[in-house]
């Protein structure tokens, strides 16, 4: 058994290292695994951002509901004072029905 082991070592002496094909296969496999991990991480961050946005929306909605309840406000209208629906204009809060003008 020991003689056989010694002979196999002597016969492999000229074949030290990996072949080019073996190295290419390993590099390809590592590249595919890296791509899969990268895509998974991108999906996780996108999900986290969506959940954070949803939570922020719920927080703002709860604050708005609390403001309406505490200040006896009937409605909130995005319509500006001049009647335009420009969302850059300030929000008009009123306690009674809006005037016809």
**Does residue 5 fall inside a structural domain?**
no
d(CA 15, CA 25): 19
**Does residue 3 fall inside a structural domain?**
no
Structural domain including 85 reads 74-101
**Does residue 58 fall inside a structural domain?**
yes
| 6: pLDDT strictly greater than 80 | no
Listed residue (72, 64, 62, 70) closest to 91, CA to CA: 64
**Cβ-count burial of 92 within 10 angstroms (0-12 exposed, 13-18 middle, 19+ buried)?**
middle
What is the tens place of the pLDDT at every residue in 32-73? 999 999 988 887 888 888 888 899 999 998 888 888 888 877
- The whole-number average pLDDT for the span 19-41 is 94
What pLDDT, on a 0 to 100 scale, did the predictor assign at position 49? 86
63 shares its domain with 87: no
d(CA 92, CA 101): 14
Q: Which residues pair with 93 in a beta bridge?
A: 76
81 shares its domain with 57: no
């Amino acid at each position: 058994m020991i003689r056989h082991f010694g002979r196999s070592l002597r016969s492999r002496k000229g074949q030290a290292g990996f072949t080019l094909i073996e190295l290419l296969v390993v590099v390809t496999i590592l590249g595919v695994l890296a791509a899969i991990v990268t895509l998974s991480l991108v999906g996780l961050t996108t999900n986290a951002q969506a959940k954070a946005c949803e939570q922020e929306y719920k927080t703002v909605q709860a604050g708005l509901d609390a403001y309406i309840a505490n200040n006896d406000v009937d409605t909130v209208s995005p319509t500006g004072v001049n009647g335009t629906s420009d969302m850059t204009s300030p929000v008009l809060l009123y306690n009674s029905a809006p005037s016809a003008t």
